[in-house]
Chain A
Amino acid sequence: MRRSSATFCLEAVGTELGEVRIDLAADVSLRDVIAKTGIRQVWKTNRSSLDLAEQACNRALASAGIAAEDIGLVIVVTESNDNVLPPLAALLHNRLQLPHAIPAFDINQGCSGFVQALCTAVELVAQFGQVLLVCVDRYRSKLEQTDRSTQVVFSDASSAVILSQRPVQRILAQSHLTDGSGAKCLIQPNDSTGHSGYLSMDGSKVFLFTIQQVVPQILGVIEDAEISPDDINAFYLHQASKLVLDGISKRLPKDARILNEIADLGNTVSSTIPFLLESRLNEFRGSLNLMSGFGVGLSASTAVITPI
């Protein structure tokens, strides 16, 4: 377990979905699948990751009432960079006309990426000032047309949060795990010429990873924080699918408030937790909450965040 004394405030959240709605419920043959995954519709974009991310950033900046020139650090979590290089953060930095004298870098991470990046960013707020933390992915362009296990789950989306130095919140406890032996469970491989293949997911291995590795991590962080599950206002869990959320829920106290907004959004990869935060920001800042992201790597990150 890692403890942190760093304080911060999650000032604002902005999100953007792909512009093309795919109505899964319109396909009668998917009725049984929808009942299990809990996902009625998914979203696809024909825009670049840069364009998608820019929209979320503009919304977050407007919501926070913060000017672009006041951002001190940009972190972009993505597995859908428009180019192999440079980092998407550099292009986004230019698009938003941010100050030159700031660092901007990418984190190549999936569904655990938001929590990993948030825990990293919190430690950097004191040094760099206001942090723009962006998540963007366009998984739908990576999917094989005939792979129903991914086609009925993933959405294209972006999100942006702004962290400030205001001493409003802190991370009470956090835990991170990486198990590269499971890397092939969720992978988009390159061939020898550098061309990418389709995304491949061994769903059952990832599902068992959440039961066998993520649940103990969540319970361990609660113990490390020296709190009771009853003290937690809400569980902000990665919205993988209803099957996964149900699998975790069964192992938490019955009255645990586990947020679920997957039906109309789909699995937006690293943006699922920011989407949950967007409509609950005041509540989030004023209460004790747990967030947990897990997936590609395999990896998982969990944090308990408390108001000061």
Chain B
Amino acid sequence: MNQRIDSIESLSQIIATALETDQVVRTDTHASEIEKWDSLGHIMILAQLDDLVSGLLDSNPELSAATSVIEIWEIIAKHRGDR
């Protein structure tokens, strides 16, 4: 799998991998739609993103409340824009 986040589609795939879910994660998916996207699942997503986007977790506290693919994508885009 491509481990680069260069589009919201690739982010969807990375979230699915982090959660190890058989459910399809689309670009408009919300956490409530995915069984494994609970509190523990969200940490797994953040840990995966920590490996892929430098400094993302160090400066974006709003990531903890981001409960959809779109919200996470917007935070990553803003983070990259800020750097």
Which A residues fall within an 8 A CB radius of B?
32-33, 36-37, 147-149, 152, 201-205, 207-208, 211-212, 215, 243, 246-247, 250-251
Contact = CB atoms under 8 A, between A and B. Distances in A.
Interface string B46-63: 110010000001110101
Contact of A212 (B20, B39, B44, B61): B61
Contacts of A250: 50
9 contacts: A36-B47, A203-B43, A205-B64, A207-B46, A208-B64, A211-B58, A212-B61, A247-B50, A247-B57
A176 to B, nearest CB: 21
A152 B20 CA distance: 17
Nearest to A185: B64
A203 B59 CA distance: 17
Interface residues of B, number: 17
A37 B59 CA distance: 23
Contacts, number: 56
B40 A33 contact: yes
Interface of B: 20, 38-40, 42-44, 46-47, 50, 57-59, 61, 63-65
B40 to A, nearest CB: 4
B58 A212 contact: yes
A147 B47 CA distance: 20
Given A204-B64, A208-B63, A243 B39 contact: no
A88 B42 CA distance: 36
Nearest to A153: B40
Contacts of B65: 205
A38 to B, nearest CB: 12
A32 B43 contact: no
Nearest to A152: B40
A213 to B, nearest CB: 10
A37 B40 CA distance: 9
Given A149-B39, A247-B50, A36 B44 contact: yes
B48 to A, nearest CB: 10
Contacts of B58: 211-212, 215, 251
Nearest to B19: A32
B61 to A, nearest CB: 6
A203 B42 contact: yes
Contact of A202 (B39, B44, B63): B39
